Amino acid sequence: MESRTRKKRIWASYRYCFARLVLQLWLYYEESMDNLTQVSMEDMAFGEELTQIIRRFLEENQEDGTEEAFRQLKGLRDRIIGRVELLTAFSDCFQIYEYVLNRVERRFLPGKPSSHTPKQLASLLVESMASMESPAERNGRLRDITAQLPIRFTRKKFYSMVMERLSSYGGLNRENVEDYLYMLKSSVMLKLPQGMEEERELYEQLECLCQAQYRDLKREDFDRCTEALVEGTRLLSAKMDYYVSVEQMVNDLYVLFLTDNEKVTDAGEDMKFRSCTENILDALQMGDGELLNKNKIPGEMEGIQEAVIDLVMAAGTERDPILDQVDRLVSGSLFMSVEAKEACCQEADRQWLDKEGTKLCEELEGLFAGMQKAVVRAVMAKVISSLPIVFRDSQEVEEYICASLESCTDAAEREASMELLEQELT
């Protein structure tokens, strides 16, 4: 990369991330003062550790200490990613049980019957997809629809569908397909991380959902499961919001460590960045809410990110070890690896896909062996809606939707599914 262009991007990245760090730290301070953060002391320790590292970065003429602080930041980032993997696993589990509860709800909370027949609803859904302009929108809507349909085919038919749909990945990069399969397995509880029981509150809510007997569910059991799902989702949302906030600051600080020694920036602006950061850190440490009333710091950062964002996001034509990492840290994928993986050029051929598909079906069969039928159906629905769509035309889509609804002999489940599908029309 041309030296001058590289210097401009380093400078722009430093300014962009320092301004964003100040604003994100301000929001973190606001939430702390308003007592809105509903997370555990163990979670809060991650934010407290980050503020200590930020202070060490602000110290000047501490080169050895700066290197140690950077190592500490890298370790903190790895631990946050591990924590978020745990939370994502809980989210996947809750989604499976939400599917189950949605389909037994009509047993206890009767609603207004659908005004459509399965055929009429299928036709309306296909029409709504046809009206969408982009293929991506239509594909997304189709996935949403298939995710809500009742599952009534045999395991043999299900595994046949899995193998057929996986075959559409033929010719793609094998590593990309492996990543997809890993995410798919994680989303249907095949690859749960260790240590989920350490998230005690979330684990208790999940255990309530796992232990319920859905075939013979009573009203009090349904209410308890619903409360567990609502509470689990609330806790999960609060924790994820917190870690997203902390990770954003971690990534911005990471960029500052990477670019600090090479930046060429205005000394006055740099002093402003640092003094604003120190003021917020001091207010956080003392629990002083008075800074909120003055409300000057966000205004001092105004316009800085907008002024340099084009330079920050401009992709270079040559590989650069620092800017390559900066690109990943500001990409918007907060929890992605900072280090680039070596590209795999192997193709996902038919033989390899058949082998991986067979392995996936065997793993699913093992999972199903210890599951209630209602949960098995929820997992099947998740898998089918996640796999590539292979319908030939809109007529086949309409027939598939109609057949799925008509084959469901459980009136309560069919009505619940139709109600959820009707929401796709609004």
Q: What is the DSSP string of 87-111?
A: HHHHHHHHHHHHHHHHHHHHHHS--
Domain annotation covers residue 190: no
Confidence (pLDDT) at 425: 85
Burial state string for 219-254 with b = 16 or more CB within 10 A and e = fewer than 16: eebbeebbebbeebbebbebbbebbebbbbbbbbbb
Q: Tell me whether residue 349 is in a domain.
A: no
Classify residue 219: in a domain, yes or no.
no
Looking at 200-218, list the stretches that DSSP marks H as alpha helix, in order from N- to C-terminal side: 200-211
pLDDT digits (tens, 9 = 90+) for 107-164: 998 878 888 999 999 999 999 988 888 888 888 889 999 999 999 889 999 999 999 9
* pLDDT of the residue at 62: 55
pLDDT of residue 63: 55
Looking at the 3D structure of the chain, how many domains does it have?
A: 1
Confidence check: pLDDT of 228 > 70: yes
- pLDDT at residue 18, as a whole number: 96
Kindly state whether residue 209 falls inside one of the protein's structural domains: no
Assigned token pair, 376: 């098995």
Is 54 within the bounds of a domain?
yes
Closest CA to 146 of 375, 379, 385, 396: 385
Q: What's the pLDDT tens digit per position in 192-220? A: 999 999 999 999 999 999 999 999 999 99
Mean pLDDT of 70-90: 96
Confidence class of residue 316 from pLDDT cuts 50, 70 and 90? low
Mean of pLDDT values over 396-410: 92
Whether 395 is covered by a domain: the verdict is no
How far from each other are the two terminal CA atoms of the chain, in whole angstroms?
50
- Read off the pLDDT of each residue in 391-396 and give the average, rounded to a whole number: 87
Average pLDDT over residues 72-80: 97
Cα separation, 80 vs 42, in Å, equals 12
Sign of CA dihedral 354, 356, 357, 363: positive
Radius of gyration of the chain (CA): 26
pTM for the model stands at: 0.90
Instruction: Choose among 186, 358, 260: nearest CA to 15.
Output: 260
- Report, as an integer, the average pLDDT of 93-110: 93
Residue 307 lies in a domain: yes
Residue 342 placed within a domain: no
Look at 263-272, 374-383, 410-419 and tell me which has the smallest mean pLDDT: 263-272
Containing structural domain, residue 29: 3-85+237-329
User: What's the CA gap between 422 and 424, in Å, rounded?
Assistant: 5
